[in-house]
Amino acid sequence: MKLNRLSVKRLCLLIGAGALLSMLAITITFYALTGNELFFLMGAALMICALFWLILLVLFFGKRLSLFTSELCQTLDNMINGSAEPQRASDSETLFARISHRLTRLYEIMQENRCKVDEERKELQSLVSDISHQVKTPVSNLKMVTDTLLTKPVTEQERTEFLQGIRSQTDKLDFLFQALVKTSRLETGAIVLTKKDGLLFDTLAQAMSGIVYAAEKKGIAVTVDCPQDLRLYHDSKWTSEALFNLLDNAVKYTPDGGKICVTVEQWEMYVKIDVSDNGKGISESNQAAIFRRFYREEEVHGEPGVGIGLFLAREIITRQGGYIKVVSEVGKGSAFSVFLPSR
């Protein structure tokens, strides 16, 4: 018989029976050696008392154990269902109190994980909804154009225009997928930002190279004020990506013949990079929302873009210990300020 298969009550009964048999053997031995009946009577009385208290102990302990296991099971059921928090025991010296404290901590961890899972589920649902919304329009346009080309006779000029429309929509889808891949890899840690000592001027020049043609096409004057010898610990590749997104937005929403100014200042703890324009501006009520993934104002839906550039820019800067702030006024323009740690 294995002891680990015995219930606590049976184990107590076995221990008690063993104690009684030991007392009986000792009593008989003393009686046999001395022949004194007094030893026998005293031994019998002790055995009766021990048996009485043993029965009471087993009954009391069994009741307490049953109550304890019942409360423990109820507490665990509540924790699994998330319906109630474990009751905190007032007495910290009992076994149930010690277990209760640990169950309370376990419940708090489970609740935190449950909330985290709910948040991740909502975020995933929102992401799927946003992607579906972004993809639906170009896919619908592609189907409409291809159906027209397949079912109706068109002139060569119309054919060229339709093909240009297809190219435009596929470029939009490609840009969306590339942005999603970058964001996903950044958020999941597949891409690790590596901060190295380098010239900020070179990083800024790399970002500027991506918007020069678009700015010239709209006749936008771009001025840059950045010390050429300013060195900064930063990830040059991804910082230029963030700055390009800010500059690209400035070019998109600045009217023809407008101005974009880029200024860099060395502060004690941060390096401040300002990207300002005299474009359409952003209303105060929307300034907090523009950094959300896929967010676009109603007024700019006609402009190219998917609303992920500012989100990606903030992620890149935040992961380097910096932050972005915006000051804007409708009709007068916007100023985005990037703060990167000096060290």
Cα atoms in the Cβ-side hemisphere of radius 13 Å centred on 119: 6
More confident residue, 81 or 257: 257
- Express each pLDDT in 19-33 by its tens digit: 767 767 776 776 676
Q: In 3D, which of 191, 260, 181, 247 has the Cα closest to residue 219?
A: 260
Distance CA 131, CA 124 (A): 10
Predicted TM-score (pTM) of this structure: 0.57
Task: With H, G, I as helix, E, B as strand and everything else as coil, classify residue 201.
Answer: helix
Paired residues of 316 in beta bridges: none
Greatest mean pLDDT among 2-6, 154-158, 295-299, 324-328 lies in: 324-328
C-alpha distances out from residue 307 to 20, 108, 180, 246, 301, Å? 83, 37, 11, 12, 10
H-helix or E-strand spanning residue 326: strand 323-329
Token pair recorded at residue 237: 């590749």
- Express each pLDDT in 128-183 by its tens digit: 666 676 677 777 778 888 888 788 887 888 888 888 888 877 877 777 777 777 77
CB neighbour list of residue 305: distance below 8 Å, 6 or more residues apart: 249, 252, 296
